[in-house]
Structure 1
Amino acid sequence: MTSSLSRRRALSGAATLGVGVPLLAACGGGDDGAAKDPATTPATDPPSTASSPTATETASGTPSSGGGSGGGLVAAGDVPVGGGVIVKDAELVVTQPEAGQYKAFSAICTHQGCLVSSVSDGRIQCPCHGSSFSISDGSPQGGPAQSPLSEVAVTVAGDEVTRA
Structure 2
Amino acid sequence: MTAEPLSRRTVLTTGAAVAGAAVGAVALTACGSSAGTPSGGQAGAPAASPGQPLTALADIQVGQAKAAKTADGKDVIVARTAETTVAAFSAICTHQGCTVAPQGAELHCPCHGSVFDALTGAVKKGPASSPLPAVAVKVDNGQVVTS
Counterpart of 1:122 (choices 87, 105, 109) is 105
8 Å Cα contact 1:140/1:147 also seen in 2: yes
Residue of structure 1 in register with 2:146 after alignment: 163
Give deviations 1:76-126, integer Å, cap 9, x for gaps: 22222221111242221001122222110011111122111x212311111
TM score, norm. by length of structure 1 = 0.56
8 Å Cα contact 1:84/1:94 also seen in 2: yes
Q: Which runs of no fewer than 5 residues in structure 1 stay unpaired?
A: 24-69
1:131 paired with 2:114, answer: yes
Root mean square deviation, CA, Å: 2.7
Give deviations 1:57-80, integer Å, cap 9, x for gaps: xxxxxxxxxxxxx73011222222
Counterpart of 1:74 (choices 55, 58, 66) is 55
- Number of aligned residues: 111
Rounded Cα–Cα distance in structure 2 between residues aligned with 1:121 and 1:72: 22
Structure 1 segments of 4 or more deviating over 3 A? 13-19
SS at match of 2:87: strand
* Percent of matched pairs sharing the same residue: 36
Give deviations 1:20-51, integer Å, cap 9, x for gaps: xx99xxxxxxxxxxxxxxxxxxxxxxxxxxxx
8 Å Cα contact 1:97/1:135 also seen in 2: no
1:98 paired with 2:85, answer: no
TM score, norm. by length of structure 2 = 0.62
Residue of structure 2 in register with 1:62 after alignment: none
Rounded Cα–Cα distance in structure 2 between residues aligned with 1:125 and 1:97: 18
Rounded Cα–Cα distance in structure 2 between residues aligned with 1:79 and 1:152: 17
Offset, 1:13? 5.8
Residue of structure 1 in register with 2:35 after alignment: none
